[in-house]
C-alpha cells in the first residue's frame, strides 16, 4: 500500500483499519496452525485487537476490519462450537475450548504470521520457560531461577535460544512471587517500547502514535518517572508536538 493511501485510510477509518488493509499482501500465504490449509480473508468484523485492549480498554466499539479463517471446512477451527478466526496480526479469536496440543507446536497463530513469531518469543508456546532453583543459593533473601529466551520466525521456528538468571523477591506473606529487577532492565524494556513508537511516528506521521510514546504509565516508581523525564529532554522536538 502506498504511503499516501495509508495516510488517507488512517484519517478516514482509523489506524487499525489501515494496518489491516496494508497487511493483506503480506498475509496471503498464511497456513492454518492445525491442518496447514490456506488461511484467507473471510470478510470483515468488529473486534478488539490486543493493541486496542492495552491502549483503550474501555472503548465501546471497534471498526470493522479483515478476519482470516481456515479454508478447510473439515478443520476443527471451523466447527460451530469453536468458530475460530484470526486478526491481521495473527491473533486468534474463539476456539478457547481447543486444547493447546491440537495446534502444531502448541502455537495457535497461523504459519507466516507475526503473532506466531511472538508466541515463540513472548508466549514461549510449547517451549521450556523457566527452571526454579532453591532459595538457599541466595541465603533465602531471593529465589533464583533460570529463564529461557527464544528468537523465532513467522513460521514458529526457534532460530536462537539463550537463558538468563533472574530472581524473585518475597511478597507480604513471605512467598517468592515478585520479580526482582534493577533499574537497568526496566529502562531497557521501556526504551524498546518507546523507540518503536517513535519509529512508527516517523514512518506514518500519526500524532496519536506519538502521544502514546510519551503517555505516563500507571507505575509511578522513580525509575519509570526518571525514564519519562529523560525521554522528554532527549526527544524534545517530538515531545513539544504533543505537550
Q: Pairing relation of β-strands 92-93 and 158-170?
A: unpaired
Alpha-carbon distance values, 140 to 87, 178, 197 (Å): 45, 14, 40
pLDDT of residue 70: 98
Query: What pLDDT is recorded for position 193?
Result: 87
Where do the structural domains in the chain lie, given as residue ranges? 3-121, 130-180, 186-239
How far is Cα 114 from Cα 116, in angstroms, rounded to an integer?
Answer: 5
Summary mean pLDDT of the chain: 90
Largest Cα separation within the chain, whole Å, is 61
Neighbours of 27 (CB within 10 A): 21
What pLDDT score does 165 carry? 92
> What are the backbone angles phi and psi of residue 123, rounded to the nearest 5°?
-75, -25
**Structure pTM?**
0.70
pLDDT at 53: 78
Question: Which pLDDT value is given to residue 64?
Answer: 85
The residue ranges of the chain whose pLDDT is under 50 are none
Amino acid at each position: 500500500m502506498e504511503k499516501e493511501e495509508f495516510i488517507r485510510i488512517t484519517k478516514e477509518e482509523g489506524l487499525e483499519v489501515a494496518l489491516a488493509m496494508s497487511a493483506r499482501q503480506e498475509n496471503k500465504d498464511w497456513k492454518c496452525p492445525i491442518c496447514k490449509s490456506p488461511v484467507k480473508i473471510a470478510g470483515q468484523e468488529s473486534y478488539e485487537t490486543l493493541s486496542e485492549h492495552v491502549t483503550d480498554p474501555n472503548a465501546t466499539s471497534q471498526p470493522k476490519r479483515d478476519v482470516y479463517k481456515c479454508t478447510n471446512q473439515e478443520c476443527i477451527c471451523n466447527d460451530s462450537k469453536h468458530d475460530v478466526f484470526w486478526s491481521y496480526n495473527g491473533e486468534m479469536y474463539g476456539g478457547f475450548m481447543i486444547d493447546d496440543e491440537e495446534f502444531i507446536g502448541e502455537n495457535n497463530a497461523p504459519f507466516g504470521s507475526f503473532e506466531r513469531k511472538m508466541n515463540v518469543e513472548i508466549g514461549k508456546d510449547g517451549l521450556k520457560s523457566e527452571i526454579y532453583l532453591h532459595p538457599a543459593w541466595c541465603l533465602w533473601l531471593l529465589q533464583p531461577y533460570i529463564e529461557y529466551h527464544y528468537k523465532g520466525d513467522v513460521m514458529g521456528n526457534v532460530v536462537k535460544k539463550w537463558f538468563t538468571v533472574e530472581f524473585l523477591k518475597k511478597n507480604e506473606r513471605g512467598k517468592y512471587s515478585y520479580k526482582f529487577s534493577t533499574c537497568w532492565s526496566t529502562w531497557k524494556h521501556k526504551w524498546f517500547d518507546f523507540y518503536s513508537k517513535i519509529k512508527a511516528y516517523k514512518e506514518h506521521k500519526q500524532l496519536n502514535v506519538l502521544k502514546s510514546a510519551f503517555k505516563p504509565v500507571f507505575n509511578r516508581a522513580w525509575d519509570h518517572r526518571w525514564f519519562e523525564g529523560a525521554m522528554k529532554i532527549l526527544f524534545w522536538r517530538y515531545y513539544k508536538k504533543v505537550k
